[in-house]
Structure 1
Amino acid sequence: MDDRLTDIKGRLADTRAVRQTDATWLIEQLEQARRIAVELENENARLTSTDPWQRAVDGLNALVDAGIGFWIEPDGHISNPLGDEHIEYDRETERWRLVHDDEEGDQ
């Protein structure tokens, strides 16, 4: 009888461990699903946005998401201190453009 009781207790402990593992896995899956939902919502907002300010913010966030550190210089350049490119405003064309630092000597 004691062996049987020990066996039942062991099985019960195994069942609890499986349930705990399953619960942990489910929580992780729910958290991942929430993150994906937020990403999809943000991506949908970005793709459907017609607000130029929002599109500008999305562009700056793309740099952040890519892990590119940058700062905005007093003259308006958006600089990548660790890279060889920056964004500058071209007054002649009235457009922002990407400039590779090796191009500047060519101009």
Structure 2
Amino acid sequence: SHCFAYIHATEVGGTHPALIEAMGRGALVLYLNTVENAEVAGDAGIPFEPHELAAKLREALAMSDTERERLRQKAMERVRARYSWDDVTDTYEKLLAGLAAPKPR
């Protein structure tokens, strides 16, 4: 939470807990633009292509404190809304209940 930015450059692995944790702690997030990372970060982070990282870092440095704080707040809100343990537990309970339900013959 005290860093200037968190850079998430992972290409594979699905939803990565490190990205969620950085967002939840209010880091300014720059993430490699993959489907999985974009699904997690949404518009609460700064996507980059592999050849664009230096340029995106310069953009982040040029942002006003207000712009950076807006992204940090959006990141925390997104994590609270989508990745709480209550929501994860509810989703798994529904999935397991559906799998355990008797199937019509």
Larger Rg: 1
TM-score by length of 1: 0.27
- Bigger relative CO (Cα 8 Å, ≥ 6 apart): 2
